[in-house]
Structure 1
Amino acid sequence: MRRRILHVAVVAVSVALVLFGIPLALAARATVLSEERGELERTALLASRQVGPDFLAGDPVELPRVEDDKKVAVYDSSLTHRSPATSGPPTADSVTRAAARGVEADGVVGADLVVAVPVTVAEKVIAVVRVAAPTSQTLTATLLAWAALVLCAGLALAVAVLVARRQARFLSTPLEALAVTAERVASGDLQTRTEPLGTPELVRLAQTQNDMLDRLCELITRERRLTAEISHQLRTPLTGLALGLQNALSRDGSSAAADPHASLADALGQVRDLELTIDHVIQLARPQGRALGADPVRSVAEVCAQIQRRWHGPLSEAGRALFVTAQTDLALPLPQFVVTEVLKILMDNATRHGAGRVTVVFRDLGSFVAIDVADEGSVQASGEELFRRGQSGSDGLGIGLALGRSIAEAYGGRLALARQQPTRFTLMVPLSPTPSEPDPTPVSDDPGQSESAADSREPESRS
């Protein structure tokens, strides 16, 4: 591209120099001729002053001294040569005869440029002064003027080439950087960016490319996050679904095998729950879907029963107890998706990373219900670090708690770490399916507050 820009600039400047140089060359030639005629005319006028009234009586004329390349001659009214023989031709030429009519005349005679001036007395031409100079002088002066023009044109072309090279570099460097960036992006490096340089148009092009890459990276990140979140939320339910179907197909006399219809019905319900989970996670991953709308509800009693049904077996196999306590009206409606999915994340973390008994407490906060999930383990990270994507869990992907907070906030709720040791997480969910901005009730960091509240009543269910 640089070579092309340089070629265009050189061609344009060359055409301009030719278009301007030819008229200038002709003007220079005309100027040289005019100056030479003027010089000869001044010499002739100076010599005519030496011709007086006594010239007709034969008085000799004393001609002024002139340059060696000029010749001054005087002719009388009859065009007879009256000056030294070497000063001019013995016979009057056409220019001299024209001046004898009473007007100045000039022209080229042979190899000389000739100017003739008449000398008049009483309005009568008594003599003609003729001055001649070789045309070679005019040609030399013209050639010198043309050489100066050629030198100036060459200098202008050299300057144009230098300016064109600099401008070509100024224009091509940003484009080359854009090309390099495009090649890196094509090879898979989506983090490379182009520094905006050059003209405003090139700066805008670079900024547009950078914005496009930012949006592309954001889209890819969102798609990867969506894939990871769906994978995280479906991993455990799919495992349970597979186990249930295996039990339904078994023929070992177990209760599940005795009633395969019930197992298949339970599997169908799990499939429907999985479809609902996928739909909500996809909606949550969209930029315009960060605030979710109305959601089917479940009562506190149904949520408690679901927790018992889902997590009693895994915790019992690990030798750990599960306590589910409701300190609120069991008929209160809770948004199904946010409660189910966030509790699934909290219970999975308590099972995988916690220790000792697991306690789930439902507390009434007026327009909100607080759900405490506690175990006897501990976490080392602070609350903000724990909810940062990639930080939660020592052997997981660090997605669960971050996704749980996103789900809770999308429904106008809140998920926080209430205590590090023993570990307690608190989920606050609104009772209304389309809540307004909540007035968050501070989650107490007092280790004994939740336990004292839990101990104030007997658990609704214990295992």
Structure 2
Amino acid sequence: MRRRILHVAVVAVSVALVLFGIPLGVAARATILSEERGELERTALLASRQVGPDFLAGDPVELPRVEGDKQVAVYDASLTHRSPVTGGPPAADSVTRAAARGVESDGVVGAQLVVAVPVTVAEKVIAVVRVAAPTNQTWTATLLAWAALVLSAGLALVVAVLVARRQARFISTPLEALAVSAERVAAGDLQTRAQPAGTPELVRLAQSQNEMLDRLCDLIARERQLTAEVSHQLRTPVTGLALGLQNALSHEGGGATADPHAALVDALGQVRDLERTIDNVIQLARPEAGVMRGGPVRSVGDFCAEVERRWRGTLSEAGRPLVVTAQTDLALCLPQFVVTEVLKILMDNATRHGAGRVTVVFRDLGSFVAIDVTDEGSVQAHREELFRRGQSGSDGLGIGLALGRSIAEAYGGRLALTLEQPTRFTLMVPLPSTPSEPDPTLSSDSPQRPVPAADNREPERKR
């Protein structure tokens, strides 16, 4: 990269120097010749002033003194030499003969640059003044000018090389860094970020690459989060479904009178519940997901019966009682997904990590319904750490509570730890703004327990 930039810069500067240098050299030569002719012409005009009317009578001419190797000579109308022999050739040359016709002339004769000026009296040429100088003087001046041009071109080329090297480094260094960053990303290091540097275009390129990696990391994180959330939400229902089917098969094989139709209906309901769970978790994990509205609803009475049906047996096996109380209208409808999934998380958390009696209370708060899940255990961790995704430990710090809060907030609700000992989590769910139809997938043949009557008493708390 650097060699190519340097090569292009050197070639461009060299071509520019040649294109401009040759015309400048020719112009310098022409300028030097013009200045020399002008100097000889001024000397000839000065000498012509010394030639007067008495020149025809044979009076001698006093020529002015000249500098250097210049020669001054005077010829009469017949082109006879009338000045000292050292001042010019005895015989008139072509330039002198041309001036004798009344026209100032100049040219190169041999190794001399000659300028001849006619002297006229009454419009008649009476003499010709010839001034000459060696051409080697003009060539010396020309060569000096050309040498100056070559030195200037060399200096310009050196400066161009230095500037090109600096610019090549300025351009190639960020590109090399971007290449190294891209190689690290290709090797699997998605945390590598390029340092924006160089020209504005290179800075924008580095920023675009960093933004692309940020979006890629976000997509991967969301995919991992979605996998973990789906796995977390499906683990318990799939286990329950498998156990239910195994029990149905064992009853059938043992000749018991258990109704296989009820077991199949219950299994079908659980499968549909799993489908809804997967769809809603995927929708919740999408980047554009905002506050979710609508969807199937269920009554408070159905939720109470569902909690009784799903968790009483499990808690009874552990010797722990379950109390479900509704302090609101049993016919009041709530969003099915948020209540079902968050209750599933809270009840699983209470079963695995809680102690003693588990109490579930539905409370009416006007436009919201609060659902309290209380057990007789305690929580030692900080309230916010409970809902931090990715935590794990003996206190039940895991993905479940973080997912539950996400689901609640996605539906405009809130999930919080409202009491540390005994442990109480409260889910606040907004009532649907418009009446919704109950979930049509709920079968009336699904086995459910009787809904407990509303109880206005506060659940017992351990102090």
Q: TM-score range by the shorter chain?
A: 0.7 to 0.9
1:277 corresponds to which residue? 277
2:315 corresponds to which residue? 315
- CA–CA separation in structure 1 for the residues paired with 2:235 and 2:384: 25
* Contact in 1 for aligned 2:113/2:134 (Cα 8 Å): yes
What secondary structure sits across from 1:138 in the alignment?
Answer: helix
What secondary structure sits across from 2:292 in the alignment?
Answer: coil
* Contact in 2 for aligned 1:75/1:127 (Cα 8 Å): yes
1:67 corresponds to which residue? 67
* Contact in 2 for aligned 1:293/1:434 (Cα 8 Å): no
By how many angstroms is 1:359 displaced?
1.4
By how many angstroms is 1:256 displaced?
7.4
1:49 paired with 2:49, answer yes
By how many angstroms is 1:295 displaced?
2.9
1:414-452 per-position Cα deviation (integer Å, ceiling 9, x unaligned) = 2111111111001122332659xxxxxxxxxxxxxx996
* Contact in 1 for aligned 2:353/2:396 (Cα 8 Å): no
1:3-40 per-position Cα deviation (integer Å, ceiling 9, x unaligned) = 22222222222222222222211111110101111111
* Contact in 2 for aligned 1:353/1:393 (Cα 8 Å): no
By how many angstroms is 1:257 displaced?
8.6
1:384 corresponds to which residue? 384
- CA–CA separation in structure 1 for the residues paired with 2:335 and 2:254: 36
By how many angstroms is 1:395 displaced?
7.3
Aligned pairs for 1:153-168 (under 5 A) are: 153-168=153-168
By how many angstroms is 1:345 displaced?
0.3
Q: Which amino acid aligns with 2:100?
A: A
2:201 corresponds to which residue? 201
Q: Which amino acid aligns with 1:369?
A: V
- CA–CA separation in structure 2 for the residues paired with 1:237 and 1:221: 25
Quick one: structure 1 residues 209 and 236, their matched pair in 2 at CA, closer, same or farther if it must change by over 3 Å? same
- CA–CA separation in structure 1 for the residues paired with 2:159 and 2:230: 66
1:129 paired with 2:156, answer no
1:2 corresponds to which residue? 2
Q: Which amino acid aligns with 1:128?
A: V
- CA–CA separation in structure 1 for the residues paired with 2:197 and 2:428: 51
Q: Which amino acid aligns with 1:152?
A: S
Q: Which amino acid aligns with 1:343?
A: L
- CA–CA separation in structure 2 for the residues paired with 1:383 and 1:240: 31
What secondary structure sits across from 1:454 in the alignment?
Answer: coil
1:302-343 per-position Cα deviation (integer Å, ceiling 9, x unaligned) = 222222222223323333222222223333323222111111
2:225 corresponds to which residue? 225
Among 454, 459, 463, the alignment partner of 1:454 is 459
- CA–CA separation in structure 2 for the residues paired with 1:196 and 1:388: 33
1:350-376 per-position Cα deviation (integer Å, ceiling 9, x unaligned) = 112212221112222233322111111
Aligned pairs for 1:42-121 (under 5 A) are: 42-121=42-121
Q: Which moved more, 1:125-134 or 1:54-63?
A: 54-63
1:345 corresponds to which residue? 345
- CA–CA separation in structure 1 for the residues paired with 2:371 and 2:68: 122
2:450 corresponds to which residue? none
Q: Which amino acid aligns with 1:108?
A: V
Q: Which amino acid aligns with 1:4?
A: R
* Contact in 2 for aligned 1:115/1:131 (Cα 8 Å): yes
* Contact in 1 for aligned 2:47/2:129 (Cα 8 Å): yes
1:97-132 per-position Cα deviation (integer Å, ceiling 9, x unaligned) = 111222221111111111112223343322222111
Quick one: structure 1 residues 130 and 414, their matched pair in 2 at CA, closer, same or farther if it must change by over 3 Å? same
By how many angstroms is 1:253 displaced?
6.8
Aligned pairs for 1:14-33 (under 5 A) are: 14-33=14-33
What secondary structure sits across from 2:288 in the alignment?
Answer: helix
1:426 corresponds to which residue? 426
- CA–CA separation in structure 2 for the residues paired with 1:216 and 1:344: 32
Q: Which amino acid aligns with 1:26?
A: V
By how many angstroms is 1:271 displaced?
1.3
By how many angstroms is 1:387 displaced?
1.6
1:398 corresponds to which residue? 398
The percent of aligned pairs where both chains have the same amino acid is 84
1:43-94 per-position Cα deviation (integer Å, ceiling 9, x unaligned) = 2222223333333333333333223422222222221112222322111111
* Contact in 1 for aligned 2:356/2:375 (Cα 8 Å): yes
Question: Unpaired runs of 5+ in structure 2?
Answer: 436-454
1:445 corresponds to which residue? none
- CA–CA separation in structure 2 for the residues paired with 1:290 and 1:68: 98
- CA–CA separation in structure 1 for the residues paired with 2:420 and 2:271: 35
* Contact in 1 for aligned 2:345/2:404 (Cα 8 Å): yes
By how many angstroms is 1:162 displaced?
2.4
Q: Which amino acid aligns with 1:453?
A: E
Aligned pairs for 1:276-315 (under 5 A) are: 276-315=276-315
What secondary structure sits across from 2:108 in the alignment?
Answer: strand
Q: Which amino acid aligns with 1:106?
A: D
Q: Which amino acid aligns with 1:158?
A: V
Quick one: structure 1 residues 256 and 135, their matched pair in 2 at CA, closer, same or farther if it must change by over 3 Å? farther
TM-score, structure 1 as length reference: 0.87
* Contact in 1 for aligned 2:349/2:396 (Cα 8 Å): no
By how many angstroms is 1:394 displaced?
3.6
Q: Which moved more, 1:50-59 or 1:154-163?
A: 50-59
By how many angstroms is 1:396 displaced?
6.2
Question: Unpaired runs of 5+ in structure 1?
Answer: 436-449, 457-463
- CA–CA separation in structure 2 for the residues paired with 1:399 and 1:434: 32
- CA–CA separation in structure 2 for the residues paired with 1:8 and 1:166: 14
- CA–CA separation in structure 1 for the residues paired with 2:366 and 2:114: 122
Aligned pairs for 1:179-194 (under 5 A) are: 179-194=179-194
What do you get for the CA RMSD once the two structures are aligned?
2.6
1:241 paired with 2:252, answer no
1:372 corresponds to which residue? 372
